[in-house]
Amino acid sequence: MTKTIALIAHDNKKPDLLEWATHNQVFLQKFNLCATGTTGKLLQEEIGLDITRYQSGPLGGDAKIGSLLAEGEIDLMIFFFDPLESQPHDPDVKALLRLAAVWNIPSATNRSTADLVITSPLFEDYIPIKPDFSDYTERLHKSL
């Protein structure tokens, strides 16, 4: 089964992601790729990667990627976010990072981490342990 990698970058980090993706183009071509709007368009036009594109992050793309994380449809999230600039959709950014953590999905928020993750000998065959939230959902339903 082919893994799916989500690629996301804030405006100031798009050049970094493009450079990283260009350097790793052969590797990335082996996987299903998805991205938020502008990032996906740049990766398609400048590198020629085949990418499923969603809306721009603030217009719902972040929410779509978050939904895919929660549904187990994404195996790795590479999200080069800009930690030095406030974003109008900061809650969406936090939600993406939180969902990746909740569902135990590997995520890389900078080039060094992305390099380490994709070069790990575990990456292609690794299946993360999915958390069991049955106790949580049972408690939630009992309180309703």
pLDDT of 83 reads 75
How far apart, in whole angstroms, are the C-alpha atoms of residue 2 and residue 142?
39
Q: Which residues are catalytic?
A: 62
Is domain 4-143 annotated with CATH 3.40.50.1380?
yes
pLDDT band with cut points at 50, 70 and 90 for residue 67:
very high
Across 133-139, average pLDDT: 82
Backbone φ, ψ for residue 6 (5° rounding): -95, 135
Residues 6+ apart with CB under 8 A from 140: none
pLDDT of 86 reads 67
pLDDT of 114 reads 97
Across 70-74, average pLDDT: 95
How far apart, in whole angstroms, are the C-alpha atoms of residue 28 and residue 59?
26
